[in-house]
C-alpha cells in the first residue's frame, strides 16, 4: 500500500524498511535506532539491498543473510564491484549478482589471483 507524504512524494511500507547505506546498515541490528516503529507494525519486512551507496557493513550483512563468507582482505574489492555494477546499470545489485561477485573473489583468493 503506497501513501503520499506531506510534500506529495510517494512512499511505500514495502521499501520504508529497506537499507542500502552503509552507515545506516551498520545499525540494522538495532531497528529502534533507525526506524520510528517496527516493520511488522505495517506488514513490511526489513532487508538490506546493495547499490552505489552501500558500505562494508551492508556487504557483511548481505553475505550473512545469504550464507556467504568473504575473506577479510577481499571485502573492499567485493564492495567496489557492487558499487561499479550498480552505477553501470543504474539500479540495485540482485542477490544472484552479489553471489557471483563473491564467488569471483573467492576463486581469486583460493588461487592467489585477483
* Chunked mean pLDDT (size 10), the chain, 114 residues: 49 52 55 61 75 91 94 96 96 96 82 52
Q: What is the pLDDT of residue 4?
A: 47
Q: What is the pLDDT of residue 1?
A: 42
Rounded Cα distance, 73 and 25, in Å: 20
**What is the pTM assigned to this prediction?**
0.68
- CA dihedral over 101, 72, 34, 31, signed as positive or negative: positive
Q: Residue 14 contacts by C-beta under 8 Å, 6 or more apart in sequence? A: 44
Cβ atoms 58, 22 nearer than 8 A: yes
CA max distance for the chain: 55
Q: What is the pLDDT of residue 2?
A: 44
Q: What is the pLDDT of residue 42?
A: 67
Residue among 25, 27, 102 nearest 56 (CA): 25
Amino acid at each position: 500500500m503506497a501513501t503520499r507524504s506531506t510534500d506529495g512524494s510517494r512512499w511505500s511500507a514495502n521499501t520504508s524498511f529497506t537499507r542500502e547505506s552503509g552507515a545506516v546498515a551498520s545499525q540494522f541490528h538495532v531497528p529502534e535506532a533507525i526506524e520510528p516503529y517496527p516493520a511488522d507494525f505495517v506488514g513490511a519486512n526489513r532487508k538490506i539491498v546493495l547499490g552505489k551507496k552501500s558500505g562494508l557493513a551492508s556487504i557483511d550483512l548481505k553475505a550473512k543473510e545469504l550464507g556467504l563468507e568473504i575473506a577479510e582482505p577481499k571485502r573492499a574489492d567485493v564492495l567496489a564491484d557492487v558499487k561499479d555494477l550498480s552505477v553501470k546499470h543504474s539500479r540495485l545489485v540482485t542477490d544472484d549478482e552479489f553471489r557471483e561477485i563473491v564467488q569471483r573473489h573467492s576463486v581469486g583468493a583460493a588461487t592467489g589471483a585477483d
